[in-house]
């Protein structure tokens, strides 16, 4: 059974940093396309970052240069390092895994992903 478990969320002041983790079980995360999404109250779920099996990463314009996605294949864990956080980054953050061959091209679409974690809350205060 595939499971994704996020951790590392919390409350931080603007300009601060957090590192989110997503522990995968039931499969080898290095063989799937992995993504990070976020959803703020009243807003649609949006793609934040994605990483392919070869390590190539993609980012939303709103986080590029501030967030870094990475994965530790030995630990079967996905990470999202978030720096220079802004109040607009406040949201529930989710990791997701895709088995689709076109995941790299459409990584920002939630419908591409087959498995989702439960989420971890990030709150950034001004």
- The 10s digit of each residue's pLDDT in 21-54 is 999 998 766 689 999 999 999 999 999 999 999 9
CA distance 10 to 32: 27
Q: In this model, does residue 62 exceed pLDDT 70? A: yes
> Are 83 and 99 in contact, with CB atoms under 8 Å apart?
no
pLDDT on residue 90: 98
Q: Which helix (H) or strand (E) holds 3?
A: strand 3-7
Q: Tens of pLDDT along 73-93? A: 889 999 999 999 999 999 999
CA distance 98 to 77: 15
pLDDT on residue 30: 67
* Residues whose CB is less than 8 angstroms from the CB of residue 47 and which lie 6 or more positions away in sequence, other chains included: 35, 36, 37, 60, 107, 108, 109, 110
> Are 78 and 69 in contact, with CB atoms under 8 Å apart?
yes
SS3 state of residue 1: coil
pLDDT on residue 26: 86
SS3 state of residue 100: coil
CA angle 65, 59, 16 (to 5 degrees): 45
The mean per-residue pLDDT over the stretch 60-69 comes to 98
């Amino acid at each position: 059974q595939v499971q994704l478990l996020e951790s590392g969320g919390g409350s931080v002041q603007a300009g601060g940093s957090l590192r989110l983790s997503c522990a995968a079980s039931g499969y080898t995360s290095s063989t799937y396309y992995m993504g990070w999404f976020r959803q703020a109250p009243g807003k649609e779920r949006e793609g934040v970052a994605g990483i392919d099996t070869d390590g190539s990463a993609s980012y939303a314009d709103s986080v590029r240069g501030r967030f870094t996605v990475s994965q530790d294949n030995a630990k079967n864990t996905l990470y999202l390092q978030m720096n220079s956080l802004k109040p607009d980054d406040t949201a529930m953050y989710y990791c997701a895994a895709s088995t689709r061959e076109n995941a790299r091209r459409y990584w920002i679409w939630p419908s591409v992903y087959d498995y989702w974690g439960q989420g971890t809350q990030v709150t950034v205060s001004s």
